Amino acid sequence: MLEFLESITGVPTPLLFGQLLLGLINGAFYAMLSLGLAVIFGLLNIINFTHGAQFMMGAFVAWMLLNWLGLGYWWALLLAPLIVGATGVIIERTMISRLYKLDHLYGLLLTFGIGLMIEGVFRNEFGSSGLPYRIPAELQGAWDLGFMFMPIYRGWVVLFALICCLATWLVIEKTRLGAYLRAATENAALVQAFGVNVPRMITLTYGAGVALAALAGVLAAPIYSVNPQMGTNLIIVVFAVVVIGGMGSILGSVLTGFGLGIIEGLTKVYWPEASATVIFVIMAIVLLTRPAGLFGRA
């Protein structure tokens, strides 16, 4: 079987396995980021273009905690999402909440502008070339899997992302709070009539979506350069993931995130020049054949 694979693809099997695994790791980032976007869109109907900047803020807050307060990676994993989530709550309360009655486009423009401003402020303060952040001592090193070296930290990223995705899905689908949220999406006025504080729920949901982006930022800090534009490249791909998965579908965005990570990984082996384009080709095909996305409800 393996020889057969090798003979038709022309790529040694160990290399192929390695690339599949790497694709899965990148997929974990896509899944975490698109999850936050999907949660926000599903409940607020806002396309959150600030998401990339908030991912970047997560990484920067991790750096600040370490260099200014001496708090390491594990504290950052807890505190950075809370801090960045709190800024999200402020943004929602003071600005985004004024736009709910208007067309989607206004929310998109507003969040896009806020994102640009946040990136500009960080660039002014920290420069554009980036800051170093080390892999925590507990997760350094690599396992020799026979066909490749697997850095322990990357394994941790996949595991942690899976847990986050599962937890988010459970909260929204299986708890009373989640039921309120879903009900408020369908008919906010009715839910409010039952005595549920819907505006507060929406604010906290936005904060939670932003916190997920920040959490992904903390996970990314040790392996990518921590710089103000680090979210920009990633976020375009993540939007494609959300569109392919179906706007607002949580399970859809998670599965699509992992799936596209793998497809992108394989493209990097066979045709590296096209690895940035392949996701958008898939997006175009999906939009033509299933406009609501693979897992969306039309």
Report the residue number, 34 or 205, with the smaller CB distance to another protein: 34
Cβ proximity to another protein: between 82 and 145 the closer is: 145
Instruction: Decide whether 45 or 275 has the Cβ nearer to another protein.
Output: 275
Is 74 or 149 the residue whose CB approaches another protein more closely?
A: 149
Give the end-to-end CA distance of the chain in Å, rounded to a whole number. Answer: 41
Minimum Å distance from CB 72 to another protein? 15
Q: What tokens appear for 131 in the block?
A: 């800051």
3-class DSSP state of 25: helix
CB of 290 to another protein, least distance (A): 25
Q: What are residue 197's phi and psi, to 5 degrees?
A: -80, 85
Identity of the residue, 209 or 222, whose beta carbon is nearer to another protein in the bound complex: 222
| Binding footprint of another protein on the chain (CB under 8 A) | 12, 14-15, 18-19, 22-23, 25-26, 120, 123, 127-135, 142, 148-149, 151, 153-154, 223-225, 227, 229-230, 233-234, 236-237, 265, 268-269, 272-277
Least distance (Å) from another protein to the CB of residue 176?
Answer: 39
Output the smallest distance, CB 17 to another protein, in A.
10
Please tell me the distance from the alpha carbon of residue 143 to that of residue 201, in angstroms, as a whole number.
44
Cα distance between residue 112 and residue 117, in whole Å = 9
Nearest distance, CB of residue 8 and another protein, angstroms: 18
Residue 21 has what DSSP assignment? H
Closest contact distance (angstroms) between CB of 187 and another protein is: 37
Pairwise CA distance, residues 206 & 249, whole Å: 16
Cβ closer to another protein: 2 or 142?
Answer: 142
With residues binned 3-state (H G I as helix, E B as strand, rest as coil), the percentages for the chain, rounded to 5, are 75, 5, 20
Amino acid letter, 234: L
Candidates 165, 227, 213, 171; CA nearest to 48 is 213
Instruction: Show the beta-strand stretches assigned E in the chain.
Output: 142-144, 149-151
